[in-house]
């Protein structure tokens, strides 16, 4: 059964038979709708288009005029980043759908949900501003005591569960089909800390000079790490750069030394001395030193560069005075307060950039520079008087950027033969190919054009069509969630000021908005979504914590019931009468 057939069968089973799939769809508009909601559904995942359509259909059953559109994420991103919380008609957004995760294995909710992480310098695109959530996240981030930290993250989950700022639909498993002749493929992708690692792949029958290709759906917008917030970008820049600390593998998720060898921390968690690895070379041949670490942090902290991580860095460091070089391969940090974000996100998730190659690129030039686009070449002057011609980003990683290959319409990589740690694979040339569509990516695998693909193709419903002779199916715990995002400055389901209850009693406006979001949440048939759309590869969702993470409060979080009567009761509490 194709993905389109699955879509039709599922929508028919939930009563969405009147839906027409096109560029823009007005779904089951009520005769006298309570209010209007514009929902943007990313068009780069068939499965997400299915459950996005279903989500819109379910909300419309509550008497909401839902106007949905299938759009590329390039349409969603500027609205959520620069829309300043405005509604869709005013150039912002109302609701959209997303598959999301934290940028580190240890959950770091402050990055996404702290009221101090608003765009454009932060990633709280939802404009969530909840004092209870902020307090829980601050306690979680700043506690050295493991028990106190776990208590804080439980309080965050409880508050989220009770107010449902966003609707967490389900926790997917990542399903990937690979070349059955390839060994060494052991992990899913997880921006920015897990990405294709072809240096560990061995393809039978190709001696010591194999070529491999990996499919990634959406073309990248940025390939300088500090600008990226998407898997489609880390799939490309990830193999080029290194981080200070990395992860041993997906199975253990154990933190191991990367460009940092070790560190010491004071008893209060504020004073850190980080010893860096010696003998590491940039792809240009220059030595890696503490100057590169300081340059990376300085650049991200500099608002002129407009990194999406700037506000999080500022929250952690306070200012650039918090760190200094104390040796050629040593950097010392004095934090204004202990932060779990420093150890579990900044040190483990942020790629280090080369000072010698990027320092002379002005902020207004960097996004259009070949270091970020991988289009064309640029010349880097070296300390020995020579020059190096680069065809993309310059890193210390196992793969050198070789630019965009116009013949294959793919990003090309060449093996770094001077990488600082041994690698067991036989792949010498590697490509990341942009392929649109789940059926198309499986056709490419069958034809031998690719060897693996990103999990965002959501091929779970197509597993039965894969023959073992050309595709080996792997399944991984994704550590991600699928959710419906809401603009929490929207006057109905964000602030509540335009709800009947909010108009009658402004002091209860936020309460009314919560009732509307709870109604949306109870209108979602999560178990059926997992079974019918995700082909059983997942678990029903509750809160934005990975379902298998140690931090997930299984005893606290009961499944959210699919109950349309209860959903309408919540709408009634907000003042909407049927």
Domain count, the chain: 3
* Separation of first and last alpha carbons in the chain: 40
The position carrying tokens 């002005």 is 362
Backbone angle region of 454, left / alpha / beta, with phi > 0 → left and psi within -120 to 50 → alpha = beta
**Domain for residue 314, yes or no?**
yes
Counting beta carbons within 10 angstroms of the beta carbon of residue 511, is it exposed (0 to 12), middle (13 to 18) or buried (19 or more)?
Answer: middle
Counting beta carbons within 10 angstroms of the beta carbon of residue 121, is it exposed (0 to 12), middle (13 to 18) or buried (19 or more)?
Answer: middle
**Domain for residue 414, yes or no?**
yes
Q: pLDDT by residue for the chain (578 residues), tens digit each? A: 344 444 445 444 444 433 333 333 344 444 689 999 999 999 877 788 999 999 999 999 999 999 999 999 889 999 998 878 999 999 999 999 998 999 899 999 999 999 999 998 889 999 999 999 999 999 999 999 999 999 999 999 999 999 999 999 999 999 999 999 999 999 999 999 999 999 999 999 999 999 999 999 888 999 999 998 788 999 999 999 999 999 999 999 999 999 999 999 999 999 999 999 999 999 999 999 999 999 999 999 999 999 989 999 999 999 999 999 999 999 999 999 999 999 999 999 999 999 999 999 999 999 999 999 999 999 999 999 999 999 999 999 999 999 998 777 899 999 999 999 999 999 999 999 999 889 999 999 999 999 999 998 999 999 999 999 999 999 999 999 999 999 999 999 999 999 999 999 999 999 999 999 999 999 999 999 999 999 999 999 999 999 999 999 999 999 999 999 999 999 999 999 99
From 424, 433, 353, 427, select the one nearest 395 (Cα to Cα). Answer: 353
194 and 343 co-located in one domain:
no
pLDDT digits (tens, 9 = 90+) for 202-260: 999 999 999 999 999 888 999 999 998 788 999 999 999 999 999 999 999 999 999 99
Alpha carbon distances (Å) from 439 to 23, 77, 445, 509: 20, 26, 10, 46
d(CA 347, CA 353): 13
Q: Give phi and psi for 173, each to the nearest 5.
A: -95, 145
25 and 115 co-located in one domain:
yes
196 and 263 co-located in one domain:
no
According to DSSP, the β-strands at 36-42 and 65-71 are parallel
Counting beta carbons within 10 angstroms of the beta carbon of residue 555, is it exposed (0 to 12), middle (13 to 18) or buried (19 or more)?
Answer: exposed
**Domain for residue 381, yes or no?**
no
166 and 46 co-located in one domain:
yes
- Give the CATH number, domain containing residue 461: 3.40.190.10
From 253, 229, 259, 251, select the one nearest 185 (Cα to Cα). Answer: 251
- Give the CATH number, domain containing residue 320: 3.90.76.10
**Domain for residue 425, yes or no?**
yes
d(CA 117, CA 210): 44
d(CA 50, CA 53): 5
Q: Which of 409, 439, 470 is the last residue of a domain?
A: 470
Helices (H) and strands (E) in the chain, counts: 19, 23
The position carrying tokens 């419309």 is 60
pLDDT digits (tens, 9 = 90+) for 162-214: 999 999 999 999 999 999 999 999 999 999 999 999 999 999 999 999 999 99
**Domain for residue 371, yes or no?**
no
**Domain for residue 140, yes or no?**
no
Cis peptide before 167 (omega within 30 of 0): no
pLDDT digits (tens, 9 = 90+) for 31-61: 689 999 999 999 877 788 999 999 999 999 9
461 and 490 co-located in one domain:
no
**Containing domain of residue 280, as a range?**
247-360
d(CA 335, CA 323): 8
Q: DSSP E strands: which ranges in 60-140?
A: 65-71, 95-100
**Domain for residue 378, yes or no?**
no
Give the largest Cα separation in the chain, rounded.
77
**Domain for residue 117, yes or no?**
yes
459 and 508 co-located in one domain:
no
d(CA 31, CA 25): 17
Instruction: Give the CB-side neighbour count of residue 472, counting CA atoms within 13 A.
Output: 12
């Amino acid at each position: 059964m194709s993905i389109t057939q699955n879509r039709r069968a599922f929508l028919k089973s939930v009563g969405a038979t009147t839906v027409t799939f096109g560029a823009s769809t007005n779904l089951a508009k009520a005769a006298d709708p309570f209010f209007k909601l514009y929902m943007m559904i990313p068009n780069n995942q068939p499965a997400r288009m299915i459950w996005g359509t279903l989500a819109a259909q379910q909300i419309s059953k509550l008497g909401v005029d839902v106007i949905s559109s299938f759009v590329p994420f390039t349409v969603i991103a500027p609205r959520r980043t620069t829309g300043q919380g405005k509604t869709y008609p005013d150039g912002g957004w109302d609701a959209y759908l997303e598959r999301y995760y934290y940028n580190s294995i240890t959950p770091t909710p402050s990055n996404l949900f702290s009221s101090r992480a608003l765009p454009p310098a932060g990633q709280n695109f939802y404009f969530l501003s909840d004092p209870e959530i902020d307090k829980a996240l601050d306690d979680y981030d700043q506690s050295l005591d493991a028990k106190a930290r776990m208590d804080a993250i439980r309080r965050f989950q409880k508050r989220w569960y009770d107010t449902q700022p966003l609707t967490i639909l389900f926790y997917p498993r990542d399903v990937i089909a690979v070349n059955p002749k390839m060994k060494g493929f052991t992990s899913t992708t997880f921006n920015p800390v897990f990405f294709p690692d072809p240096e560990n792949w061995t393809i039978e029958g190709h001696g010591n000079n194999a070529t491999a290709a990996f499919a990634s759906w959406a073309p990248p917008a940025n390939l300088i790490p500090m600008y990226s917030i998407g898997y489609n970008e880390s799939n490309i820049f990830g193999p080029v750069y290194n981080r200070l600390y990395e992860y041993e593998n997906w199975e253990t998720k154990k933190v191991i030394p990367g460009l940092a060898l070790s560190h010491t921390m004071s008893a209060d968690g504020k004073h850190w001395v980080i010893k860096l690895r010696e003998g590491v070379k940039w792809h240009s041949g220059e030595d890696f030193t503490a100057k590169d670490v300081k340059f990376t942090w300085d650049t991200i902290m500099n608002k002129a560069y407009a990194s999406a991580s700037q506000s999080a860095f500022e929250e952690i460091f306070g200012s650039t005075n918090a760190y200094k070089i104390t040796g050629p391969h040593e950097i010392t940090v004095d934090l204004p307060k202990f932060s779990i974000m420093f150890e579990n996100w900044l040190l483990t998730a942020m790629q280090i950039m080369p000072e010698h190659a990027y320092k002379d690129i002005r902020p207004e030039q960097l996004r259009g520079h070949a270091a970020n686009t991988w289009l064309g070449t640029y010349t880097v002057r070296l300390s020995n008087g020579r020059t190096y011609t680069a065809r993309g980003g310059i890193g210390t990683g196992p793969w050198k950027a070789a630019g965009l290959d116009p013949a294959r319409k793919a990003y090309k990589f060449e093996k770094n033969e001077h990488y600082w740690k041994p690698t067991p694979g036989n792949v010498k040339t590697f490509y990341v190919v942009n392929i649109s569509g789940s059926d198309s990516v499986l056709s490419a695998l069958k034809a031998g054009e690719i060897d693996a693909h990103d999990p965002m193709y959501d091929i779970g419903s197509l597993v039965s069509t894969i023959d073992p002779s050309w595709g080996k199916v792997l399944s991984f715990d994704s550590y991600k969630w699928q959710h419906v995002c809401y603009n929490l400055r929207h006057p109905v389901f964000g602030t509540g000021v335009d709800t009947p209850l909010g108009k009658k009693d402004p002091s209860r406006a936020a309460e009314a908005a919560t009732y509307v979001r709870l109604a949306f949440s109870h209108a979602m048939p999560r178990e059926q979504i997992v079974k019918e759309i995700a082909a059983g590869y997942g678990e029903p969702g509750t809160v934005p914590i990975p379902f298998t993470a140690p931090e997930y409060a299984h005893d606290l979080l009961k499944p959210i019931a699919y109950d349309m009567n209860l959903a309408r009761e919540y709408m009634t509490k907000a003042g909407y009468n049927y």
